[in-house]
A = this chain, B = another copy of it.
Amino acid sequence: MGKKKVAVLGASGYTGSDLLRFLLVHPNVEVTHLTAEKHAGKMISDVFPHLKGFLDLELKPLKSKSIPKDIDIVFAALPHGTSAQVISELFERDIKIIDLGADFRLSSKNYKKWYGEHPCPELIKKAVYGLTELNRDKVKKAKLVANPGCYPTSSILGLAPVLKNKIADQASIIIDSKSGVSGAGRSPSLDYHYCEVNEGLKAYKIGEHRHMPEIEEALSNYSGLKVQVSFTPHLIPMDRGILSTIYVNLNKRVTTKKLLDIYQEYYKDEKFVRISPEKLYPSTNQVRGSNYCDIGIKVNSNNTAVIVSVIDNLVKGASGQAVQNMNVMMGYEETTALEMPPVFP
């Protein structure tokens, strides 16, 4: 059986580029179609010199009709709104779709509140929220997967075990997240101009970031509880990595050791989640370039659990998890193309 043909829509951003890093070494697929708006007409290696010699494709403008009929799998790394529009036009085709944007992550009600009018709200219910470790069985059967946001991935993996075990107060959770700059994308602006970011550190969109309702909705759906979080994102002077420090009031006395056991048990069959030993807390640089989520835990003397969850925002927080979802959807080994150890240093 030949390789499946893959299209990447929005290939000139960092998410698109990291998708290619994995897809180009994936034994079951071949990338045959790329789109990019600003850079249409250029070769992918003009836009990303690091890919020279890997892929000899021209970037095409984004039109659903010009996406070749023989495409089997579509990855969309597009602005919200645009993504839903294109996906709705492709939906009748016999393909698998993984949307790395925000259009299918929220209920239509929440979407309207946080993003505005949805172009095709009827499609939302057909999408599966692709936090693979939590929704694997649904992802298997999905035609359309909504790949989670980067902050939500680190937060949800850090919180799922305590919420599922009902040992946390779900209404007073605080998530203090720190992200490298690649999460802001590749469009130049003063906010991400080198000297504005370098050697500095700041919070932004406190209590107003669109990933907050995504975290609340996904965790509420998963746990059956009404989860509420205070979410504060920060920008860190580094390329890749998210670290979420999560504060949870435990509703019964649990030692650090016991809580670590609960997490070990919860994730015991998961290849991409690793629990740090007691007293050790993970650094983002130990997952760099990889699809891992590493989690460390401390229960303070006041019975607050502090959960530290790290990922590479471009990999487990975007492209790597998208490939993981593709593997599950297509029946490939889940780790295919994602096997390499993290890049340290």
Contacts and interface: CB of A to CB of B under 8 A. Distances in A.
A14 B301 contact: no
Interface stretch (A75-83, A139-147, A192-200, A320-328): A192-200
Contact of A198 (B14, B204, B228, B239): B239
A170 to B, nearest CB: 13
A341 B285 contact: no
A61 interface: no
Choose among A51, A176, A302 the residue with the greatest number of B CB atoms under 10 Å from its CB.
Answer: A176
A324 to B, nearest CB: 16
Given A174-B247, A274-B53, A345 B198 contact: yes
B194 A21 contact: no
Contact of A343 (B202, B234, B343): B343
Nearest to A343: B289
A236 B200 CA distance: 9
A291 to B, nearest CB: 12
A207 interface: yes
Interface in A307-345: 308, 310, 339-345
Name the 6 nearest CB pairs between A and B, nearest first. A200-B285, A202-B283, A195-B345, A207-B300, A50-B286, A206-B298
